[in-house]
Amino acid sequence: MIEIRDLTKKYPTPEGGITALSGIDLTIGDGEIFGIIGLSGAGKSTLVRCMNLLERPTSGQVLVDGRDLTAMSRKELLRTRRKIGMIFQSFNLLSQRTALGNVLFPLEIAGTPRKEAVAKAGELLETVGLSDRAGAYPSQLSGGQKQRVAIARALATDPSYLLCDEATSALDPTTTSQILELLAGINRERGVTIVVITHEMKVIEQICGRVAIIDRSRIAEVGKVSEVFSDPKSEMGRELVLPSLRPQASGMTKCAVRITFDGRSSFEPVISNMILECRCTVNILYADTRDIGGSAYGQMLLQLPDDAAAVSRIHSYLDSRGIQYADEDL
């Protein structure tokens, strides 16, 4: 378990200093895939680097398995860091080493016997699907392949935790999805707790169970991904999840209703049934829903007809079905 208690990080400047993190409290449970999302400059990368003390907090505590990293000696900290792997957006591979050589590097530093280290590095390359590229140098690998090597290297010391700092930001959507599937498999098969730092909600949706939203150096919201996605509570959460309003259609009012799907069956034709029962049409301005285990989560924004009676019927229908909604003015 990773516990962060009242953590603050300030950088000194001639003007008096910049506060990158302020009063952060966060708990990440064993075996989780936990997401941290925020806009550029919000402090998310600083936060993940504080988790293994690559950045030392100005104040506060970082506890890993109950032990405070900020109170450890250098020797104790180095030993503990072996249990905290990290992968980066820029891969950080050694250009003069092959894929196998890059995975071997942390094993060599740990003093693992050569024969044992080579065997383990080969197994890890097989785990990430690159056993046939063991002799290739980084310049001969694609972005996705480089990140797979970086993941294999991070797993070399058998970490309990894997910190991913914008690990898919430099990759195309297809490769991103493949890397996220790989991370999810590592979590299932090895029980590694994974922390994903990103500015992309789609990354969070694909593999994370819980998410923290960071905004201007503070935690704005923490919760299950399905709950935050369907009904964000914070201003930043709404900015990340909800759409901006679209132009209205002819014959429609300037009023809209935002429907929240928070776990209804994905197979229930909610909108079609509403249109048939209420005997009116609506204009779908925006829809972003996800099927998670056969249940629908997400938002849909409907522009309402220029007919007060029809609008009343729509409200009654939604109320009678227990569907969450909120009226909005376009």
pLDDT at 304: 87
Q: Per-residue pLDDT tens for 40-93?
A: 888 888 999 999 999 999 999 999 999 999 999 998 998 888 899 988 888 888
pLDDT at 252: 63
Q: Is the pLDDT of residue 248 over 60?
A: no
Q: Is the pLDDT of residue 34 over 90?
A: yes
Q: Is the pLDDT of residue 267 over 90?
A: no
Burial of 135 (C-beta count, 10 Å sphere; 0-12/13-18/19+)? exposed
Residue of 321 and 21 predicted with greater confidence: 21
CATH 3.30.70.260 assigned to 252-329? yes
Q: Per-residue pLDDT tens for 124-137?
A: 999 999 889 999 99
pLDDT at 323: 84
Confidence of residue 237 (pLDDT cuts 50, 70, 90): confident
How far is it, in rounded angstroms, from Cα 205 to Cα 328? 26
Mean pLDDT of 272-297: 80
Return the CATH number of the domain spanning residue range 2-238: 3.40.50.300
Q: What is the DSSP string of 220-278?
A: EEEEEHHHHHHS--SHHHHHHHSPPPPPPPTTEEEEEEEEEEEEEETT--HHHHHHHHH
Confidence of residue 245 (pLDDT cuts 50, 70, 90): very low
Nearest by Cα to 240 from 279, 200, 187: 200
Spell out the domain ranges in the chain: 2-238, 252-329
Confidence of residue 222 (pLDDT cuts 50, 70, 90): very high
